[in-house]
Structures are given as C-alpha cells and as structure tokens.
Amino acid sequence: MSILEQIIARKRDEVAERKFTATPTELREQPLYEARRRSMAYAIELPGSTGLIAEFKRRSPSKGAFVHELATPGLVVKAYDEYGAAGISVLTDGPFFGGSLQDLADTRALVEAPLLRKDFIIDRYQLTEARAWGADVVLLIAAVLSPQQVQELAAEARELGLEVLLELHRESELGHICHDVTMVGVNNRNLADFSVDLDHSVRLAQGIPAGKIKVAESGIQTPEDVRYLRERGFEAFLIGERFMKDPDPAGAFAAFAGALKKETL
C-alpha cells in the first residue's frame, strides 16, 4: 500500500469518527462559521502581489519532523502575513503531518491573509468543518478523487462560500477541472519516488483552461524558481518545506518575499 493509500484509508476512519464528535449542525453553530470569507484568488491577482501561498506544517511523511516540530502557528504565520503572503496554507491532517483544525483556527485569529485548509478531503463533512474552523479555501486532490467527486465537492464548497484549489499530478487528471474550481495547482513532486521537477508544472499548465488561476506546488526553493514559473504563466506558488525546514521560518519567508519585491521594483 502506497503512502497516499495509507493516508486515505486512515482519513476515511478519521472522518467517520469526527462525525460522531460534532454534527454538521453543531459545526454551523461555531463562531467562525459565520465569519467573513476572504478571497485568495483576489489576493493573488492584486497588482504587486507576491503570489506566495506560504505553508505551516509540523512534519511530512517524506521528510519527517521539522526542527521546530512543536512550534505554534503564531511563531510563523504572522511573518507570512506581514511580509506579503497572498495566502497561508495550514496542514490540518494529524496522523501524517502533525496538524489539526485548531492550527487553522489559531491562524485565523492572527492574520488577515486568506487561509487554505490543506488536507485530504474526501467527504462533504470536511467542507463544513473547513468553514467552521476558519478556512477560506479548500484543497481537492485529483489523485484521490474521481472527476464526479471533484465536481460535487467543488460545487458544495462554493455553496459554503469557499474557494477551491484543485491539485493535479499528471496529465490524465486535467479532466477533473470543472466550473467551480477557482485555482488549479500542479504538484511538481512525483508521488511514486518524491522526486521534483519544476518543468512538470510548465508542461501541465498548457492544458489548464483559461480563466483558472495557475498555482505551482512543491519544489520551489528560490525567488529565481518563482520568476521562472511566473514567466511561464503561473500566478501563485504554494511553498511549504522551503520555509518550515529552516530553523527560522519567519525570517526565511521575509528574505524570500523581500527578494521577490526587489525584482518587481
């Protein structure tokens, strides 16, 4: 069983358990459910936007725990917000990434940037959860969903006032793109061997319909990588390990964003 298959099997059990912990009605009664949503698409397309979607996560299956595994979002996300992130991605998967929905709510209380709930969404219940805990955007992963499931989940997300980032890994998944998907991300990491190739984004981008915001994901290490991808049509750049593996994630993001801003002056 691949790591992705292990994650999805555990996620099914996890979602079933959480449905007994809080019903959809109880989730809709949480204070953040009625909070104003913030548009990541708008933030990305603003003139002068860095296009950076910076990520908070504690660990990953491929890299293990980061040095500051016990860090709270407050030590990192405020810097993301202050230095110009167009959005902030929060890993909420617990078993494999050490995250939680509380991380999402804590981040919401600290920043103005739009928030992406990054998780393995397979059930409508998770969309209601996302809104109840403060997300503005949800991630749908084509590799674990059928085109019909993407269509149904994306429509439900939009009904809830959430934007949708659809993540692709291969050309055969281009058919998952549908009307209610706002942003289309291409993950540059090979799911089989975890190798990274930035040109993978460039190749798949040619098949993404006009009108969808193109997001490059994974393997982006330098401002030069961002410039390379931007010149090839990408408007946003989801970056996680580049900052979280640094002993000073906040400082690493500030320097990275500062270098990008200098290039635009």
What is the pLDDT, as a whole number, of residue 201? 86
DSSP-derived 3-state class of residue 131: helix
- The DSSP code for 151 is H
For the segment 143-152, the average pLDDT, to the nearest whole number, is 97
Could you read off the pLDDT of 164-193 as tens digits, one per residue?
Answer: 999 999 999 999 999 999 999 999 876 666
At 253 the pLDDT is 95
Q: Which structure tokens are listed for 179?
A: 């009307």
Look at residue 191 in the predicted model and tell me its pLDDT. Answer: 64
Does position 95 have pLDDT exceeding 70, yes or no? yes
pLDDT band at 83 (very low <50, low <70, confident <90, very high): very high
Lowest mean pLDDT among 22-26, 58-62, 86-90: 58-62
Q: Which of 216, 144, 215, 208 is nearest to 178 (CA)?
A: 208
Range of the domain at 93: 3-262
Quote the pLDDT of residue 189.
77
pLDDT of residue 70 exceeding 50: no
Residue 77's CB: how many other CB atoms inside 10 A? 28
Domain count along the chain: 1
Q: Compute the half-sphere exposure of residue 228: CA atoms within 13 Å on the CB side of its CA.
A: 14
Say yes or no to pLDDT of 8 above 70.
yes
What is the spatial distance between Cα 195 and Cα 137, in angstroms, rounded to a whole number? Answer: 27
Q: What's the confidence (pLDDT) of residue 197?
A: 81
pLDDT at position 54, please? 97
What letter does residue 231 receive in the DSSP assignment?
Answer: T
Could you tell me which of 217, 215, 237 has the C-alpha nearest to residue 226? 237
**Tokens found for residue 227:** 């410039």
| CATH code of 258's domain | 3.20.20.70
Cα distances from 27 to residues 100, 138, 204, 228, in angstroms, run: 16, 16, 37, 42
Highest mean pLDDT among 64-68, 91-95, 158-162: 158-162
Geometric angle at alpha carbon 122, from 20 and 40, rounded to 5°: 110
pLDDT tens sequence across 122-137: 999 999 999 999 999 9
SS3 content of the chain, % helix, strand, coil (to 5): 45, 15, 40
Q: What is the mean pLDDT of residues 154-158?
A: 98
User: Residue 63 — pLDDT band, cuts 50, 70, 90?
Assistant: low
pLDDT given at position 192: 61
Amino acid present at 214: K
pLDDT tens digits, one per residue of 210-219? 999 999 998 8
Using CB atoms within 10 Å of the CB of residue 159, give its burial: 0 to 12 exposed, 13 to 18 middle, 19+ buried: exposed
pLDDT digits (tens, 9 = 90+) for 246-261: 888 889 999 999 999 8
